[in-house]
Each structure stands twice: as C-alpha cells, then as structure tokens.
Amino acid sequence: MKLRTLAAALAGLLALTLAPATTATAAQAGASPRAAVVPGSGWYLTQVSSRTEDRLVLVSPTGEQTPLYQRAVSRAYGGFSLLDWSADGHTALLVYQRKRRSVLVRVDATTGAVLELPMPLLNSAILDPSGTGVLVTAFPGRRSNQLVLDRVDWAGTRTTLRRGVNGVVMAGHSGTVLVEAPSGRKQYLLSTADGSVLHAFRVQGYCSPVRWWDGSQVLETCGQDGDLYTVDPATGAASKLTDVHGRGDYGHLDARSVGSQLYVQVAGACGYTYVARVGPRRTKPLKVPGATGNVLMVDAVGTDLVLEHTSGCDGGNVRSLLARFHTTDGTETPLVTLGRRTYFGRVMVFGEVRASAY
C-alpha cells in the first residue's frame, strides 16, 4: 500500500468561502455555558458525534468531561470537524460546511467564547501559531488546480504566502510553518510573516509530516513501505525510526515511546488500523481487551498508552471508548465510554502540534 493511499485514507479535503469574521453569542454558536476551565498536561480535546448533534469536549486526565461547544448535525452537510488545538490549550479550531462555503470556528477553550470565519475554496487549515488567525491551503479560483498557502487574520484579511503547495501543513517554531511541494518529495520551512523560504530540503521519497516528535524533530511517514523518520526541518537531517513490519502491516502512521519500547499505529488492509509493538524483526499487534474494531493510539503517559476503540471498516456496532492501556500487564482502565451510536471524532493531546492531514 503506497503512502499516498495511507495519507488519503486519513486526510479529508474540505471544501470552501472569505467574508468578515463574526463573533457569535453562546446561544447562537452553540457554546456551552460553564465555569472557566484551564486544561493542562494529560488533557485531551475531542469531538463527540451522534446522529443529531456534534459536541466539542475537554477530557481531564481522569476522564471528567467539560463541554465547550455543540452544533446540530445538518442532514445536508453533516456536523463540524475538529481541525486544531493550540499548544497552550486555549484555542480550538473547527470547521462546518454550508452551501458553497465552509465556516471556520474559533472556540476559546477556557471561556467558551466563539468566533466564526467564513472561507472560500478551503482545503485544510491550522491555527497560526502567532495567535492572529489561521493558515489555510486553498484553491485561488474554482478552475485552479494548484493549491496556495494563505494567512488569514481573524478579521478575514487574506495574504498569500506561497503558491504551489501540497495540502499538508504544520505549524513550526518561532513564526514558521512546514509545507510540502505538490510532489511530496520536497519540503519548505517558511516564515509565516511573509512566506519567505527559511530552508528547503528533499525527503526520503514521498513523505508526509505527522507531528512534532520533540523540540527539534518532526515525525514523518515516508516511502513505499510507510516507514517513520524523524526529520529536523531546520537542516533537513533525517533518521529512520521504523524499518520492520509484521503480517498485514502496510505502513506506520504514528509512534509513541513507553520507556525503551516503541509502539506504532499501523495501517492494515481495507482501512483497518491497529497498534503494534515494534520488535527487532517485526511488529506485533497489541492484544487490547475487548477490541473488535479499529484501535487508535492517542497518547503515552508513563507506562500506559491512551487508546481509542472505534468501529472498523466493516461499520460494526462498536462501543466507542477512550482508555488507559497498562503496558505492564495488558489491562485497560476506561476514561470515557460513549453511548450507543455515539462516536469520537479527532482526539487531540494537550501541548501536541500535529500536521493538518492527521
């Protein structure tokens, strides 16, 4: 399975429209009245979806839930999607669809305040790390087949930073952003102020950023086999992190370390994904109690992995669950168990910076 197929399985293209931003009241925008909450280490932000409503929810390290925002699911356009969460935990970025346009929604995770920003021809979006707006990849016209990278402030003013990019973009350090060339074989570290190229480098075949691995390296999935590399975008230096695969292992989408043990998110056949332990010669699927569908690796905390149970490609009726998996004895402690026909969307980790496609 080629990496382009792996990325396509996870990256949904959003579609589309630019108008001045509007600040909505809590009642208008679906913000939930509540006391101020300040998230920190070990907290998660997730979308919880049912057939009638989407909710944005903060989850504490012990599983307590704080609702931030909700919106009814439209029969024509569906609900909203969680796009990004600022590293300080204060700001969430969502998107929902309307006829011929998409609407970006900024939610203050500590107060519940909401601002809406209609956008045209939107492909992907992340928060500008400066806090002044968003960085989006978009088509400049309805007949264009070339994506551009734009900076849009919260008043709706749009500035093009670079023409000819892939849809994957990730916030960098000190006013920078990492983008791919359309071929996926070259990457650019750009200034978010004016789009100037601070560094350009070639990667290991076709590569796509996943998230920041540490303070200086980005985790990327690369090549025909979907191996993981750590890449320093300031120099282009790369180091291979995974190079073994087990049966039914068609590529690695993410990785977490627990002590000296490395675990990977594996792309299996037919959209199936699971968590595996990396051994010296192969990867070995993790035996997760009660898991009947997909298992997603959300985080690593001490000697535990935080896992999400969700339905697989067969659409089976799986109870959605967020739990701590104890790697020492193979047992689980549930954090959040959702009701029937209720599912998690994206689950984001406090302080973690991820690429737009994941």
241-268 tens-digit pLDDT: 999 999 999 999 999 999 999 999 999 9
Q: What does the mean pLDDT of the chain come to?
A: 89
pLDDT at 66 over 50: yes
CB atoms within 10 A of CB 44: 26
For the chain, what percent of residues have pLDDT higher than 70?
Answer: 88
Residues 6+ apart with CB under 8 A from 23: 113, 114, 115, 116
Higher pLDDT, 2 or 114: 114
Q: Which of 15-19, 114-118, 165-169, 267-271 has the lowest mean pLDDT?
A: 15-19
Give the Cα separation of 253 and 6 in Å (integer): 8
- Residues found in the chain: 358
- Identify the pLDDT of residue 153: 97
- Its pTM stands at 0.89
Once rounded to an integer, what is the mean pLDDT over residues 228-246?
96
CB atoms within 10 A of CB 256: 17
Residue 343 to residues 34, 130, 299, 313, 320, Cα–Cα distance (Å): 23, 32, 18, 14, 6
